[in-house]
Amino acid sequence: MSLSLRHANEKDIPAINAIYNESGVGTTASYDLEPLTVEDQTRWWEGLQAQGYPVMVAVDEHDAVAGFAYLSDFKLVLLTHTLYSTHPQEMS
Protein backbone atom coordinates (compact mmCIF):
# COMPACT_ATOMS: atom_id res chain seq x y z
CA MET A 1 0.00 0.00 0.00
CA SER A 2 1.30 3.43 -0.96
CA LEU A 3 0.43 6.32 1.37
CA SER A 4 0.51 10.08 0.88
CA LEU A 5 0.42 12.80 3.51
CA ARG A 6 -1.89 15.80 3.26
CA HIS A 7 -3.66 18.33 5.48
CA ALA A 8 -6.89 16.96 6.95
CA ASN A 9 -10.19 18.52 6.02
CA GLU A 10 -13.65 18.30 7.51
CA LYS A 11 -14.64 15.27 5.42
CA ASP A 12 -11.79 13.31 7.08
CA ILE A 13 -13.17 13.76 10.60
CA PRO A 14 -15.30 10.55 10.71
CA ALA A 15 -12.24 8.47 9.73
CA ILE A 16 -10.03 10.34 12.21
CA ASN A 17 -12.67 9.71 14.87
CA ALA A 18 -12.75 5.97 14.15
CA ILE A 19 -8.95 5.74 14.35
CA TYR A 20 -8.80 7.82 17.53
CA ASN A 21 -11.48 5.80 19.30
CA GLU A 22 -9.78 2.52 18.31
CA SER A 23 -6.17 3.53 18.99
CA GLY A 24 -6.29 6.30 21.57
CA VAL A 25 -9.21 5.97 23.96
CA GLY A 26 -8.39 4.07 27.13
CA THR A 27 -4.68 3.81 26.28
CA THR A 28 -1.62 5.76 27.34
CA ALA A 29 -1.87 7.70 24.05
CA SER A 30 -4.81 9.73 25.36
CA TYR A 31 -6.44 11.04 28.50
CA ASP A 32 -9.89 10.15 27.14
CA LEU A 33 -11.55 7.17 28.79
CA GLU A 34 -14.73 7.19 26.70
CA PRO A 35 -15.04 7.24 22.89
CA LEU A 36 -15.48 10.64 21.28
CA THR A 37 -18.41 11.40 19.01
CA VAL A 38 -17.86 12.80 15.53
CA GLU A 39 -19.18 16.09 16.91
CA ASP A 40 -16.53 16.01 19.68
CA GLN A 41 -13.84 15.30 17.09
CA THR A 42 -15.13 18.12 14.90
CA ARG A 43 -14.81 20.59 17.80
CA TRP A 44 -11.27 19.28 18.45
CA TRP A 45 -10.34 19.78 14.76
CA GLU A 46 -11.91 23.26 14.65
CA GLY A 47 -10.00 24.24 17.79
CA LEU A 48 -6.67 23.15 16.34
CA GLN A 49 -7.45 24.94 13.07
CA ALA A 50 -8.33 28.14 14.93
CA GLN A 51 -4.97 28.03 16.74
CA GLY A 52 -3.04 27.37 13.53
CA TYR A 53 -1.96 23.84 14.45
CA PRO A 54 -1.80 21.30 11.62
CA VAL A 55 -3.76 18.06 11.43
CA MET A 56 -2.33 15.73 8.80
CA VAL A 57 -3.73 12.51 7.38
CA ALA A 58 -2.02 9.61 5.65
CA VAL A 59 -4.20 8.50 2.75
CA ASP A 60 -4.05 5.61 0.32
CA GLU A 61 -4.37 5.80 -3.46
CA HIS A 62 -8.18 6.05 -3.07
CA ASP A 63 -7.86 8.94 -0.58
CA ALA A 64 -9.01 6.71 2.30
CA VAL A 65 -7.55 7.84 5.64
CA ALA A 66 -5.12 5.29 7.05
CA GLY A 67 -3.73 7.36 9.95
CA PHE A 68 -3.39 10.89 11.27
CA ALA A 69 -1.02 13.17 13.17
CA TYR A 70 -1.34 16.63 14.70
CA LEU A 71 0.44 19.28 16.73
CA SER A 72 -1.05 20.97 19.79
CA ASP A 73 0.05 22.83 22.88
CA PHE A 74 0.34 20.98 26.16
CA LYS A 75 0.32 22.57 29.61
CA LEU A 76 0.96 26.02 28.10
CA VAL A 77 4.74 25.53 27.97
CA LEU A 78 5.17 22.51 25.73
CA LEU A 79 4.30 21.70 22.15
CA THR A 80 3.42 18.08 21.58
CA HIS A 81 3.09 16.03 18.44
CA THR A 82 0.83 13.02 18.31
CA LEU A 83 0.60 10.26 15.73
CA TYR A 84 -2.11 7.65 15.51
CA SER A 85 -1.51 4.57 13.43
CA THR A 86 -3.48 3.08 10.62
CA HIS A 87 -7.21 2.68 10.54
CA PRO A 88 -8.17 -0.78 11.84
CA GLN A 89 -9.43 -1.78 8.37
CA GLU A 90 -5.98 -1.03 6.92
CA MET A 91 -4.10 -3.21 9.41
CA SER A 92 -2.87 -6.54 8.09
Please write the tens of the pLDDT for every residue from 5-29. Answer: 999 999 999 999 999 998 878 777 7
pLDDT of 86 above 90: no
Q: In the prediction, which pLDDT does 41 show?
A: 97
Q: What is the CATH number of the domain that holds 70?
A: 3.40.630.30
pLDDT one-digit tens code per residue, 23-48: 878 777 777 889 999 999 999 999 99
Query: What is the model's pLDDT at position 33?
Result: 86
Q: Which residues contact 66 (CB under 8 A, 6 or more apart)?
A: 1, 3, 57, 58, 59, 60, 86, 87, 90
Domain span at 50? 4-90
Assess contact for 29 and 22: CB atoms under 8 A.
Answer: no
Report the residue count for the chain: 92
Q: What is the mean pLDDT of residues 60-72?
A: 92
Distance CA 78, CA 9 (A): 25
Q: Into how many domains does the chain fold?
A: 1
